[in-house]
Structure 1
Amino acid sequence: MGELRLPYRTKKNRTYGITSIVDFGIPLGELKNILSDYHEYIDMAKIGIGSAYVTPHISEKINIYQAFNVIPYCGGTLFEKFYSQNKLDKYLLYLKDLNVDWIEISTGILDIPLEERLALVQRLKKDFKVIGEVGSKDTQKKMAAPDWNHELTALLDAGCQYVITEGRDSGTAGIYRSNGQIKENLIFDVIQNVDCKRVIFEAPHAKSQMFFINQIGANANLGNVKIHDVLLLEAQRLGLRSETFFMEEKADAAYVN
């Protein structure tokens, strides 16, 4: 090992080059086994949609992730559910009880004005590390590239640690068309105008993951990754797959900001 010339890859505890998996109900025993082998490739774990609320032994699951140095947090849908019922304070207590100190503020379902989300970031960043999300799960809602850039930048400036570009676990909304095609011109515009070290692009499929790796570099931040795909993704990042084979000569050009 060590003989190949490969792209530079950040190491844990990394601040970019993040792999964020999505957990839709991984059994505890299976989770322990996978993390024992692959935890070095996983930085964050989103307990998907609102599933944390009905996950058996959720506290134990949170503890397992933390024991393997993986940051757990709840999906934005759960935040939006509490928020829609005017129970945000109860949600904050729920996260505190779970010893979860990251919170996602999203607008995937609810139409929460940007100004309101920025105020939430200002409030919540005192007690949590905040992740913002831009984009809707509704494929009928359209946003122009300047609006994406404005919201992403505004959320970062307000105090978010990272911002996520909506893509759903299916890759059919937000930065994707309903048929799964990536809105490439939108992504090119975001890459040119936003600090990509702090943007997590939802990329649930190998095709989309390789697109971002080839456009941004080995250390693109990728989210909604399936836990069984993390080894494959790491190989992709290092140019060990045909579609990323020539990554060794490519710098992280998008990280010039």
Structure 2
Amino acid sequence: MEFLILPERTKGERTYGITSIADFGIPLGQIEDYLIDYHQFIDIAKIGIGSAYVTPNLQKKVDLYNRFNIKPYCGGTLFEKCYMQNKLDDYTDSLKRLGIEWIEISNGTVDISLQTRISLIHKFKPNFNVIAEVGSKDNEQEMRRSDWEEEINLLLAAGCKYVITEGRDSGTAGIYSKNGVVKKDIIECISKNVDISKIIFEAPTAKHQMFFINQFGANVNLGNIKLQDVLTLEAQRLGLRSETLFMEERTCNLS
């Protein structure tokens, strides 16, 4: 069907309007079934937490994502575990052997200084596309609005392709309160002072996704999306759900 007037979506090799799914152990056959129909709606696949280390047939999973032009990478928890044990060289060697070209640098659980993370970005960016994450998984920890803005901009300036705003797969930390409410003051600060096209907002629930779509338009970058929710999210982006039906045809600030 092609007769409605809908918001214009980015297509192909997107640099914004990104959908990043979270793979917390999806079986290979199930992934392939979804990707055959819906691969055009997915840009990035995070193999969540540290699950890549124990995933059966990990090489086949990586190859499957690559075959559908979806960029796989390992969750930040695995990076933090390797950092704790001084195994980052082994980790990056493994990523290269697997054909994973993206790496996440985070401090969601382990306290890694901003300066150390920036140094690691400089170390990794010649060989990888680097994604960094800002915010803690501990919902008792609060960052000032100005710290969110400063940290994101410094990580981008260091060479990150994107910065993820922490939200967890539950939507109860980072940019969300412990009861799942969006911290709108933080989002407002970020949106005024950061290039939104370089931010991936973790938005695991439909409620969170629709907030960001209504706030920033169809081409906002969203992460921690469940594979089974990909088609619904695309419909939401196009104003084909009640909560986004009257969405203004805005686009992200790409300047």
TM-score surpassing 0.5? yes
TM-score (ref. length: structure 1): 0.98
Q: Which residue of 2 aligns with 1:155?
A: 155
Q: Which amino acid in 2 is paired with 1:245?
A: L
Residue 103 in structure 1 maps to residue 100 in structure 2: no
Write the mapping of 1:64-143 to structure 2, written as runs, cut at 5 A: 64-143=64-143
Q: Which residue of 1 aligns with 2:250?
A: 251
Residue 175 in structure 1 maps to residue 178 in structure 2: no
Residue 218 in structure 1 maps to residue 236 in structure 2: no
Q: Distance in 2 between matches of 1:239 and 1:212?
A: 13
Q: Distance in 2 between matches of 1:237 and 1:71?
A: 21
Q: Distance in 1 between matches of 2:169 and 2:162?
A: 18
Matched residue of 1:255: which SS? coil
Runs of 4+ in 1 over 4 A off after TM superposition: none
Q: Distance in 2 between matches of 1:256 and 1:55?
A: 37
Q: Which residue of 2 aligns with 1:199?
A: 199
Unaligned runs of 5+ in 2: none
Q: Distance in 1 between matches of 2:112 and 2:216?
A: 30
Unaligned runs of 5+ in 1: none
Q: Which amino acid in 1 is paired with 2:68?
A: F
Q: Distance in 2 between matches of 1:88 and 1:251?
A: 41
8 A contact 2:38–2:230 mirrored in 1: yes
Q: Deviations over 1:132-152 (max 9, x none)?
A: 100010112110111000010
Q: Distance in 2 between matches of 1:44 and 1:177?
A: 26
Q: Distance in 1 between matches of 2:236 and 2:209?
A: 8
Q: Distance in 2 between matches of 1:42 and 1:8?
A: 16
C-alpha RMSD of matched pairs (Å): 0.8
Residue 41 in structure 1 maps to residue 41 in structure 2: yes
Q: Which amino acid in 2 is paired with 1:163?
A: V
Q: Distance in 2 between matches of 1:65 and 1:101?
A: 12
Q: Distance in 2 between matches of 1:107 and 1:139?
A: 14
Q: Percent identity?
A: 61
